Structure 1
Amino acid sequence: MSRSGRASRSIRTLVLLTASLLLGWFIIVRVGTVDWEDVGDALAKLAAWQLVVLFGVVVVRQVLSAVPTALFVPGLGMTRAVVSDQAAMLMRVVAPPPADTAIRLTMLARWRVEPPAAVAGVVMTKVAHNTVRWSAPVIGFVLVLTDRFDSSFGAGALAGGSVAAVILVVVYLVARGRTTAGRVGLVAGRSVRTVRRSVDPEEWEAAATAFREQISGRLSTGLPRSLAALLVMLACDAAILLLSVRFVGVGADALPASEAVAAYLLVYPMTLLPIFGLGVLDASAVAIMVAYAGPELEGSLVAALFVWRTVTIGAALVLGGVAVLAGRLMPPARRDG
């Protein structure tokens, strides 16, 4: 990529991050005035052993996140998949896209994975993650529905579920056969070309066909297993947040687990934004929980989101840094059909 292209991506990411933080601030202001003394009191309740527990759940979550890579990249194995996944998460924190994809492909090349297989595996990893990401609001809606009907949760579930369904339908069409895959690529290329003239639809057609050849043998077992692992990963994500809420002193009588988890799942698609939605996701989750629990708990809930964000981002930095170093020392992957 040219220097001007990298600069453009960096500026766009910075703009998105700034907008996310400003929107987060605006949401918090609209919810109420945060009493920062309450936030400090809530954080003071946190014990060292609780941070260890949170970090432990994060580690489990990170391992589960790497399952699709292990399943879709032939011969890679779980250890290398975890290492490449942590390195990619580090890049999502410190650099604009597609730095995360670039470091994945660089590591796979170092481990002598054939480029077509590497690209197909990385694409399917993103497909699996985005399917679960957009399915999260549906799960949140179901959790809330056990107690009440909330139209905002319903709207989020409809929007998120629709995106997840489209992703799965496209993957199904690509997997049906070489001709169908080519047609899907051609149609997608023509659609994108309407807004980006540099796109060649025929190149997209060829890429879709090649992609289908790489993943067809692994799709029927790899995708269901990937989605199952990522749903457990999502449960770990929600558990980290819920534990953070409980550790700062917000009890189940004030905010039931179903409400806290549902609020997080509703805004989970915002993790697509820079640094996993830093700012706007946090503020949105707080606003939803405060709407249920009451403004008197806003300080404690802000503290909980601060703990959650610190632990998850901190783990990404630490584990990602270790992964980058470890990846350089690992031997090539075994060849596997």
Structure 2
Amino acid sequence: MNETDSPPAGAQAEQRARWRRILVMLGKIALVVGGIYLAVQALRAVDWSQVGDALGRLTWWEIGVIGLLIAVRQTVNAGTLPILVPGLSLPHALQTALSGTLIQTFTPPPADTVLRLSMLKSFGVETTRGAAALVLDTIVFYLARFVAPLIGLVLTLFVLPLEGIQIWMAVGGLAAAGLLVWAMVMISKGETAAGNVGRVAARVVKRLRPTVDPEAWAAAVVRFQKESSSGIVSRMARATPTMLGFILVDAIVVIVCLRFVGIPGEYVGYLAVLAAMFTLYPLTIFPFAGLGVLDASLIVLINAEGVADPADLVAALVIWRAATLLLPLLPGLVTLGLWRRRPAASAGDPAQTEM
């Protein structure tokens, strides 16, 4: 076969790209189908009238307790920003986080990022520093999300039957967390190392998205390295436990909801809920924080022995979801309104301190 008979290199590249797109789409479909299967298997035998009865058993003071726990949850969630932006106060960080959550719920990206950057700027944080801090904040969130299954696996060894999903989630989380830590360590070594990380990441992504430009990615990572200045790894090391604390508070909200709908501790123990939540937390990567997929998986794990009423379990998770997804919206609306009324930050704001 001579050269004129072989297909052009461009056509071959396009064909490979087409197959990659097909495989990625099939992978996404498989994930969605798997999530639907888990949800159906967990919920098919639920008596929804009993769920309604369980929800109706909540008293006013129990609703108040859940509201207070959500306030603690959101405060812990905002607690990473003051670590990543030295000089930024916790109230300002909380205001930024709540307002960003509100915008993120109702508008597509990057509207929430634009708002957060504007708020940080009004609090005296230089735009480039604020952008770098928001990137670090996202990385910290993912790092905690991938480390969580390791904690869940350790707890599982004490309180739950060991299932394959716990092992695979822990192994996958360890690999992802290791890659993130490696990337941050390399980036912190200087512009040359940062550029190399950007190129390597771009070449990996380019296999799935051929339009990716490795040099553009390298330049973007170098800019991030400059803007984030020194101490990337140390700040992440201090911020990640705070984000793990956020997952812990989330699990505590689930435990409280279980108790309030009438599921006693001898049916579903505290450590069992913690183990399940930490093990499965990477499932929040699905839309609306894994709504449906995470809930169904939690029901399967925490009720492995089948002693708790499925209707009560569903009711507890409905309360948890309503509280965590809806309750932060009202304070977000308030904080956004207050921020719009405040004057611009003065040039001497202490939050302008170098990161």
Q: With structure 2 as the length reference, what TM-score do the two structures score? A: 0.82
Deviates more, 1:326-335 or 1:223-232: 326-335
Structure 1 pair 101–272 and aligned structure 2 pair: CA distance change class (3 A): farther
Structure 1 pair 274–151 and aligned structure 2 pair: CA distance change class (3 A): closer
Partners of 1:182 and 1:205 within 8 A in 2: yes
Q: Which residue of 2 aligns with 1:336?
A: 353
Structure 1 pair 23–35 and aligned structure 2 pair: CA distance change class (3 A): farther
| Aligned counterpart in structure 1 of residue 158 of structure 2, from 141, 146, 151 | 146
| Aligned counterpart in structure 2 of residue 132 of structure 1, from 138, 144, 156 | 144
Output one character per residue of 1:254-294: Cα deviation in whole Å (capped at 9) or x when no partner. Answer: 11112222222222112222222222222221232333334
- The AA in structure 2 aligned to 1:293 is G
Partners of 2:280 and 2:294 within 8 A in 1: yes
Alignment pair present for 1:37 and 2:66:
no
Post-superposition offset of 1:159: 1.3
Give the alignment of 1:72-151 within 5 angstroms: 72-111=84-123, 113-147=125-159, 148-151=161-164
- The AA in structure 2 aligned to 1:119 is A
Q: Distance in 1 between matches of 2:213 and 2:86?
A: 29
Q: Which residue of 2 aligns with 1:6?
A: none
Rg (Cα) greater in structure: 2
Deviates more, 1:89-98 or 1:200-209: 89-98
Q: Distance in 1 between matches of 2:292 and 2:106?
A: 16
- The AA in structure 2 aligned to 1:27 is L
Alignment pair present for 1:159 and 2:172:
yes
Structure 1 pair 26–140 and aligned structure 2 pair: CA distance change class (3 A): same
Output one character per residue of 1:295-320: Cα deviation in whole Å (capped at 9) or x when no partner. Answer: x6110000000010111112221122
| Aligned counterpart in structure 1 of residue 244 of structure 2, from 231, 241, 253 | 231
- The AA in structure 1 aligned to 2:38 is I
| Aligned counterpart in structure 2 of residue 327 of structure 1, from 339, 347, 351 | 339
- The AA in structure 2 aligned to 1:320 is G
| Aligned counterpart in structure 2 of residue 254 of structure 1, from 235, 248, 267 | 267
Q: Distance in 2 between matches of 1:308 and 1:88?
A: 21
Structure 1 pair 273–152 and aligned structure 2 pair: CA distance change class (3 A): closer
Q: Which residue of 1 aligns with 2:215?
A: 202
Post-superposition offset of 1:190: 3.0
Q: Which residue of 1 aligns with 2:38?
A: 27
Runs of 5+ in structure 2 lacking a partner? 1-27
Q: Distance in 1 between matches of 2:40 and 2:244?
A: 33
Q: Distance in 1 between matches of 2:110 and 2:305?
A: 38
Output one character per residue of 1:150-197: Cα deviation in whole Å (capped at 9) or x when no partner. Answer: 332112111122212211111111112221111111222233334334
Partners of 1:84 and 1:327 within 8 A in 2: no
Q: Percent identity?
A: 32
Post-superposition offset of 1:100: 2.8
| Aligned counterpart in structure 2 of residue 243 of structure 1, from 236, 249, 256 | 256
| Aligned counterpart in structure 1 of residue 289 of structure 2, from 273, 276, 282 | 276
Q: Which residue of 1 aligns with 2:203?
A: 190
- The AA in structure 1 aligned to 2:264 is G
- The AA in structure 1 aligned to 2:156 is V
Q: Which residue of 2 aligns with 1:313?
A: 325
Post-superposition offset of 1:40: 2.0
Q: With structure 1 as the length reference, what TM-score do the two structures score? A: 0.86
Q: Specify the SS of the correspondent of 1:292.
A: coil
Alignment pair present for 1:58 and 2:79:
no
Q: How many equivalent pairs are there?
A: 318
Deviates more, 1:246-255 or 1:183-192: 183-192
Runs of 5+ in structure 1 lacking a partner? 1-15
Post-superposition offset of 1:224: 2.0
Q: Distance in 1 between matches of 2:39 and 2:195?
A: 47
Q: Distance in 1 between matches of 2:217 and 2:40?
A: 46
Structure 1 pair 234–171 and aligned structure 2 pair: CA distance change class (3 A): same
Structure 1 pair 183–28 and aligned structure 2 pair: CA distance change class (3 A): closer
Partners of 2:144 and 2:241 within 8 A in 1: no
Post-superposition offset of 1:94: 2.1
Structure 1 pair 324–292 and aligned structure 2 pair: CA distance change class (3 A): farther
Structure 1 pair 24–184 and aligned structure 2 pair: CA distance change class (3 A): closer
Partners of 2:77 and 2:242 within 8 A in 1: yes
Q: Distance in 1 between matches of 2:218 and 2:36?
A: 44
Post-superposition offset of 1:231: 1.8
Output one character per residue of 1:66-97: Cα deviation in whole Å (capped at 9) or x when no partner. Answer: 12222223543222211111122223322333
Partners of 1:173 and 1:184 within 8 A in 2: yes
Post-superposition offset of 1:34: 0.7
Give the alignment of 1:278-293 within 5 angstroms: 278-293=291-306
Q: Distance in 2 between matches of 1:264 and 1:252?
A: 16
Q: Which residue of 2 aligns with 1:11?
A: none
